[in-house]
Amino acid sequence: MNAVSEVPPLELLLFGFPTVLVDGEEPSGDVLWRKHIALLAHLALSPDMERSRDHLMGLLWADRPQAKARHSLNEAIRRLRFGLGNDRLVSHGDAIRLSHVSLKVDVQRFREINTRDPIAALELVRGDFLEGFAVEDAPDFEDWSYEQRRRIGSEVATLLLRRGEVAISAGRFNDAQEDARRALARKPFWEPAANLLMRAAALSGDSSGALAAFHDFEERVKRAIGEVPGRELVELAERIRSGTWHQQARESTDKEPPLVGRPTLHQEAFAVVEEGTKSGSRCLFIAGDLGLGKTRLMTECLNRVALSGAIIATAHPLASDHDAPWSTLRLLMRNGLANAPGVAAAEPEALSVLASIVPELARRFDPLEPRDTEHVVGALESLIGAIADEHPVVLAIDNAHWADGLTMAALGATVRQLSERPVTLIVAQSTALEGEASVELTRLRSEVGRSIPGSVAVLKALEDEEMHELVSHMATWCESPAEVDRLARRIDYESAGNPFLAVTLLQSLDRAPTLKEDLLQWPAEGTTLDSPLPFSVPDLVRVAIVARVSVLDEDSMAVLRAASIGGLALDTRLLQLLAELPPTRIEKALDVLERKRFLTYDMVRYWFTAPLFAQVVRSECLTRGQRQRLRRRAIEELERRDDLESRVLVAELASKVNPCREVADQALAVAKEATKSGSRRTAERALAAAERIDGKNGVQLGDEVSELRSLMNQS
């Protein structure tokens, strides 16, 4: 009979209280004696599973004379061979070896797979090594098991930290906190685990829990070893305490929608941004149709890096910015770069060149007219490089399809040149507006993943299961899984999986109980889930927005109505005139509208969070007479200005108030001037205003419009 057949399978489970299984069953009582288990555990983790007899006697019977100790060892080996098979313990000269045939040891398996599959490795960990197991009168064994427990515990803690970081990337903040706590249980003074616990709590929205974790760690370190937490952990606590890391208004009354679905895409995006803050420059390019979550994903990325101490500069260009050279660079400078730590370390000439472009810098540095575009690029590299020497830098551009080409070309060159610096560029572009994008932006996207390290994340509509998860999280008023399922299926069908439409509706249904009741009563008896609702989701969204507006205070309502008359960006001087409120009340109203997420502010200007908000407020919250009166007053104010943006806005408003030949001529004149100055989008807006008048009140513009269109296409 061969060796394999003479040795029954043996399994040693050493995580937690030790367990011995022979052929899947508990062995005889002799095998389970404590010193016998200790002997098996020690041999299993020894080099080549072998130890000398003298070593084993000193380990387990050091309190006995040598002859008695040798007898005890021999008796232990005899009993173990009887219970485990004669060939399980093999004599090899003066050594004893544990046969590896048909042997499974959970600790050995853990060590074999922990580098390639940490999740599978952690599934083997049922507790600490030999938890609750002790052998009396064997101090050397106790010392050995303590050292093994410490060493294996450190390995487990490292894997828990890795798994926790993966959980954070996937948005599973509770799982990340649990892994951090388990890691701290094994390494109580390990700052990376405390850091993970604090970040996971903060990202989940529990800032007080994150600070409590810091104070617990701080007290434990002080009490046990008389030390204080390191600078990185202290700075993290301060960022959480101040709340400045969070990119969204913290006081919003709306429930934050979960970042559902797309786990692989989200993890890849977060990984790119994290690598950019640690391993050299990266670019994350986010593309998707309107309402698919580009801004939300960008915000999640920024929250993570801001929490870790990165310097963030953001830009949210509007259509009117597209044709203005360096307009996006000015936004970045005003919203994060100009006052970042390290600016003063940039080359003086670089600061002077940038001061010629950014008025705010001209107050601090003497402007120097750049020789050419490359001169500006070099200055930007010097500035960002100097900032990155002190902190990771993240530049984020939303609505990049409206960013000017010069800035996008310069940023692409900067990311390439600063390849070894912690610099990350995040760009979000609407695929529906790809035709609006500059050539430089299109070129940048083609280079991501090639000459520029990074990734392109293309967002698509939510799948059925993802929409169900979103509805489950937000529609807590549903009383049964069946109601959640029906609502999720219907919203998914009507919205084509568009998260913006779904979230806007779900956030507002609590304010519209009648709609809620209609949804929960649908479908009617005798109909199917596909039978039409008495309203469409776009109609529901409009009603939902009106419901959100209806609970605003009087001043906020007045400001929102006034704001809806102009473009997406708000002119505060014009607001004051139209809303007929003093500046202090305007400011308070703007704060309310920002908290409720009707508006966004980037340290430079306010703008509507979504064009749909402006459209619905204008159409549903103003009578026709109110709209016309506000438009006329706006025209009166704007006609006093001579900048191109004001003139095109006058043309747009006047085409709705007084569609006559004179207004059409004014619009055509603005379109021609904008074309000559290279402001293509401004020209398009002015031409659209003229075309709106064409055919009304006897106005015929056919040839003039065609000629101007031809001129625009040639320029």
CATH of the domain at 283: 3.40.50.300
Of 712, 678, 609, the residue nearest 405 (C-alpha): 678
218-229 tens-digit pLDDT: 999 999 988 899
Confidence of residue 375 (pLDDT cuts 50, 70, 90): very high
Which CATH number is 228's domain given? 1.25.40.10
Q: Which of 548, 576, 598 is the last residue of a domain?
A: 548
Residue 655 lies in a domain: yes
Q: How is residue 18 written in tokens?
A: 């030790």
Are 178 and 227 in the same domain?
yes
Confidence of residue 536 (pLDDT cuts 50, 70, 90): low
Query: How many Cα atoms within 13 Å fall on the side-chain side of residue 694?
Result: 16
- Give one DSSP letter per residue of 360-375, joined into a string: HHHTTS-----SSHHH
Are 293 and 429 in the same domain?
yes
Domain tally, the chain? 5
What is the pLDDT, as a whole number, of residue 570?
83
Are 276 and 233 in the same domain?
no
- The rounded distance, in Å, linking the Cα atoms of 249 and 711 is 45
Checking if the pLDDT of 170 tops 80, the result is no
Lowest mean pLDDT among 44-48, 405-409, 528-532: 528-532
Residue 158 lies in a domain: no
Q: How is residue 553 written in tokens?
A: 């205070």
| H-state helical runs in 596-640 | 611-620, 624-638
Element of type H or E holding 91 = strand 89-92
Cα–Cα distances (Å) from 359 to 315, 324, 367, 371, 535, in that order, read 16, 15, 9, 18, 51
What is the pLDDT, as a whole number, of residue 520?
58
pTM: 0.72
Are 412 and 523 in the same domain?
no
Checking if the pLDDT of 60 tops 70, the result is yes
Are 61 and 99 in the same domain?
yes
Q: Is 228 exposed, middle or buried (0-12, 13-18, 19+ CB in 10 A)?
A: exposed
Q: Give 427's strand partners.
A: 285, 397
Are 287 and 433 in the same domain?
yes
Confidence of residue 508 (pLDDT cuts 50, 70, 90): low
Q: Where in the sequence is the domain holding 20, given as residue range(s)?
A: 3-139
- The rounded distance, in Å, linking the Cα atoms of 332 and 427 is 13
DSSP designation for 92: E
Checking if the pLDDT of 695 tops 80, the result is yes
Are 444 and 477 in the same domain?
no
DSSP designation for 452: B
Checking if the pLDDT of 622 tops 70, the result is yes
Q: Which of 533, 548, 563 is the last residue of a domain?
A: 548
Q: Decide: 391 and 424 in contact? Cβ < 8 Å.
A: no
Q: How is residue 159 written in tokens?
A: 């894997």
Q: How is residue 439 written in tokens?
A: 């050539």
Segment 248-258 shows an average pLDDT of 52
Q: Is 136 exposed, middle or buried (0-12, 13-18, 19+ CB in 10 A)?
A: exposed
Output b/e per residue, 586-604; b: 16+ Cβ within 10 A.
beebbebbbbbbbbbbeee
Are 189 and 83 in the same domain?
no
Q: Give 315's strand partners.
A: 397
Confidence of residue 52 (pLDDT cuts 50, 70, 90): very high
Judging by DSSP bridges, how do beta strands 50-52 and 10-13 pair with one another?
unpaired
Of 149, 146, 147, 203, the residue nearest 180 (C-alpha): 203
The mean of the pLDDT values for the chain is 87
Residue 277 lies in a domain: yes
Element of type H or E holding 106 = helix 106-113
Element of type H or E holding 273 = helix 263-278
Confidence of residue 414 (pLDDT cuts 50, 70, 90): very high
- φ, ψ dihedrals at 233, nearest 5°: -70, -40
Are 202 and 275 in the same domain?
no
Which residues, in sequence order, are CB contacts of 268 under 8 Å at separation 6+?
Answer: 455, 457
> How many other C-beta atoms can be found within 10 angstroms of the C-beta atom of residue 431?
15
Checking if the pLDDT of 509 tops 80, the result is no
Element of type H or E holding 507 = helix 499-508
Checking if the pLDDT of 453 tops 90, the result is yes
Residue 617 lies in a domain: no
Checking if the pLDDT of 493 tops 60, the result is yes
Q: Decide: 228 and 222 in contact? Cβ < 8 Å.
A: yes
- φ, ψ dihedrals at 310, nearest 5°: -75, 150
Q: Using N-to-C axis directions, what is the helix angle for 66-84 and 53-60, rounded to 10°? A: 100
Cis peptide before 583 (omega within 30 of 0): no
Which residues, in sequence order, are CB contacts of 540 under 8 Å at separation 6+?
Answer: 505, 515
Q: Give 569's strand partners.
A: 607
Which residues, in sequence order, are CB contacts of 657 under 8 Å at separation 6+?
Answer: 628, 631, 632, 635
What is the pLDDT, as a whole number, of residue 531?
47
Residue 165 lies in a domain: no
Are 383 and 451 in the same domain?
yes
Are 448 and 503 in the same domain?
no
Residue 583 lies in a domain: no
Confidence of residue 249 (pLDDT cuts 50, 70, 90): very low
Segment 123-149 shows an average pLDDT of 93
Residue 152 lies in a domain: no
Residue 561 lies in a domain: no
Which residues, in sequence order, are CB contacts of 25 under 8 Å at separation 6+?
Answer: none
- The rounded distance, in Å, linking the Cα atoms of 266 and 6 is 53
Judging by DSSP bridges, how do beta strands 393-397 and 423-430 pair with one another?
parallel
Are 453 and 470 in the same domain?
no
